[in-house]
Structure 1
């Protein structure tokens, strides 16, 4: 049933379009579906997801998924995030008859309980910064997460910024990066 909804919403077609010029050996669209299905049905870390796909569920077109494919697929998702969100949104727009006359936008922060960072050039550190924590943990590195939703509460787009980003600069960036010609 989840696979049917995935296909009716056109997520499979959007991903196929984004992956068409890529030379992945692994079934990336199916791997993304496996991660989404796992979150919906039995949330677990990537290592447990590997076992879940192999032993606990039947996912069409994916009898197993090595954990390294899950991580590589996440890299692809990061690279394609903006286009993927935009294309999926416009793919489901007609399905839900979405009204975009008014969008709600909010931010939150979440923190990381990690040991001292060893490599300051690490990309994860680019986002993990100490800042004004909404969780009341200014002592820990965090990220700021923004979400725009329709009147009905359906997500339109999400953003992630470094943890030391002020809300006013976030609002300015959202105005600049909102999809042109939506």
Structure 2
């Protein structure tokens, strides 16, 4: 049983590492996409191209958020499921995989998480909202494009709400309090 748990741990950590790399690259993809949209919309004749920024940011932002949540869920699963089950199998009953909990007790973790929340909101919500404001202040298109832009603003606000809701701002996860 112990070998199976260690094997599960190794596989799930590999998945976590893969998701971390993918999540981090999504931020670069978002920045590159934004640069392309902004370059396309520099000319007043193509200002409506700014309406591409919110859907691109929503797609990449949602993918970023879901991957970030899965990364956290993997850590939680290791802390709450695999670690305790392995500890029971050990004769000395010491806590295993201590790093999975220890790094969450860093006194600067809350500030770091707040800054990360701000960065995520600026990258995935602030920039598309700024693009919409620039579009609205310029000469916006007809009623259809105005309607599309308002819907994009609402979707961007919904993404911002989700990013805030998923932000793990506490010093440690609530489930850690019981262990």
The TM-score, its normalising length taken from structure 2, stands at 0.31
Determine which structure has more spread, i.e. the larger CA radius of gyration.
Answer: 2
TM-score by length of 1: 0.31
| Higher helix fraction (1 or 2) | 2
Which structure has the higher relative contact order (CA within 8 Å, separation 6+)? Answer: 2
